[in-house]
């Protein structure tokens, strides 16, 4: 079942066309990787999906409520001085958009606790987010993202700057979530991991979609390049 349909989507920053005439679909249950060189438009496309970059032309249709999307942006390293603890960050993931004052129900707190434990972050409950390592921060942000029990996760280079052991662990977690039915759309440079985990792949080249297809087609056509 299609859950996201992009038809001839174009996104500009002033005179720069970052995504040019992109058409593709994402199906429920896909592990959909967006590959491509620096500056090819991967992050912009993800921003377009969540409404952070306005779509200039074409249509992008999400076939379910947007509140069920979790988005982890590319540069999400927390500021050392950001005045929030791991618990506060994770709990904030239960907030519905549109609310101004945070109010957390018992159910929100239970859900946040469950996410925190799932990611093994309970020992850092009272630690400031900025005092964690990059890998620990990723875990906390992932726990936050899981609080809303997302149907679709958009992950922008979620392993940048992490060592291979932590990346492997996180890959396994995403695999597990995907096995449980969560659709994953991930921008990545890591062609090894794409070959290992993705079910479908899209290749962006200089703001265009150059290829979109199954992992088998990707391996047959592009894997060695
Ligand atoms: N806020 C912005 N203002 C102006 N131009 C931008 C902005 N963000 C991105 N661009 C330009 O849009 C193009 C696509 O950038 P984008 O960040 O989407 O690429 P990317 O594929 O995610 O690259 P990377 O692999 O380095 O993360 C690039 O030419 C970039 O310079
Ligand atoms: Mg990017």
**DSSP letter string, the chain:** -EEEEEEEEEEEETTEEEEEEEEEEEETT-EEEEEE-TTSSHHHHHHHHHTSS---EEEEEESS-GGGEEEE-S--PPPTT---BHHHHHHHTTPPTT--S----HHHHHHHHHHHHHTT-GGGTTSBGGGS-HHHHHHHHHHHHHTT--SEEEEESTTTT--HHHHHHHHHHHHHHHHTT-EEEEE-S-HHHHHHH-SEEEEEETTEEEEEEEHHHHHHHTTT-
- Token pair of 146, please? 């899981």
- For the question of whether the overall pTM of this predicted structure is more than 0.85, the answer is yes
Distance CA(78)–CA(130), nearest Å, equals 5
Q: Which residues line ligand 1 (CB under 6 A)?
A: 13, 16, 18, 36, 38-44, 74
Q: Which ligand is nearest to the CA of 54?
A: 1
Q: Let me know: does 142 contact 178? Beta carbons within 8 Å.
A: no
- Expressed in angstroms and rounded, the spacing between residue 194 Cα and the centre of ligand 1 is 21
Ligand nearest to the CA of 41: 1
Ligand 1 centroid, distance to 38 Cα (angstroms): 8
Nearest Cα to Cα of residue 158 among 133, 132, 131, 187 = 187
Render each residue's pLDDT in the chain as its tens digit; 225 residues: 999 999 999 999 999 999 999 999 999 999 999 999 999 999 999 999 999 999 999 999 999 999 899 999 887 666 666 789 999 999 999 987 656 666 889 999 999 999 999 899 999 999 999 899 888 888 899 999 999 889 999 999 988 878 888 888 888 889 999 999 999 999 998 888 888 899 999 999 999 999 999 999 998 886 555
Distance 102 CA to ligand 2 centre (A): 31
- Domain coordinates of the chain in residue numbers? 1-64+151-225, 82-150
For ligand 1, atom 6: residue with the closest CA: 13
Architecture of domain 1-64+151-225: 3-Layer(aba) Sandwich (3.40)
What whole-number distance in Å separates Cα of residue 182 and Cα of residue 29? 6
Query: Edge to edge, what strands does the sheet with 57-62 contain?
Result: 16-27, 2-13, 57-62
Tell me, in angstroms, the distance from the centre of ligand 2 to residue 189's CA.
9
pLDDT (0 to 100) of residue 97: 62
- The span from the CA of 202 to the CA of 175, in Å, is 18
Residue nearest to atom 3 of ligand 1 (CA): 13
- Residue of the nearest CA to atom 24 in ligand 1? 38
The pLDDT of residue 99 is: 60
Strand ranges of the sheet holding 69-72, from the earlier edge strand across to the other edge: 69-72, 152-156, 183-187, 31-36, 200-205, 208-214
Q: Which of 9, 10, 13 to mutate to test the pocket of ligand 1 (most atoms within 8 A of CB)?
A: 13
State the distance from the centre of ligand 2 to the C-alpha of 43, rounded, in angstroms. 4
Cα-based angle 55, 56, 58 (whole degrees, multiple of 5): 75
């Amino acid at each position: 079942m299609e859950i996201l349909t992009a038809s001839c989507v174009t996104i500009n920053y002033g005179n720069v066309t970052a995504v040019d005439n992109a058409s593709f679909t994402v199906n429920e249950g896909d592990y959909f990787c967006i590959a491509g060189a620096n500056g090819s438009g991967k992050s912009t496309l993800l921003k377009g999906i969540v409404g952070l970059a306005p779509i200039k032309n074409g249509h992008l249709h999400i076939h379910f409520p947007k509140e069920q999307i979790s988005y982890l942006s590319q540069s999400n390293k927390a500021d050392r001085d950001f005045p929030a603890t791991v618990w506060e960050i994770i709990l904030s993931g239960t907030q519905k958009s549109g609310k101004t004052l945070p109010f957390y129900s018992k159910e929100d707190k239970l859900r946040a606790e469950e996410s925190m434990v799932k990611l093994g972050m309970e020992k850092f409950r009272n630690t400031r987010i900025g005092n964690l390592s990059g890998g620990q921060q990723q875990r906390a942000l992932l726990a936050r993202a899981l609080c809303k029990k997302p149907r679709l996760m958009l992950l922008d280079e979620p392993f940048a700057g992490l060592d291979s052991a932590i990346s492997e662990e996180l890959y396994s977690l995403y695999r597990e979530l995907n096995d449980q039915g969560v659709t994953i759309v991930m921008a990545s440079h890591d062609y090894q991991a794409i070959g290992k985990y993705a079910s479908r792949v899209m290749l962006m080249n200089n703001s265009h979609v150059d290829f979109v297809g199954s992992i088998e087609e990707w391996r047959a056509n592009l894997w060695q390049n």
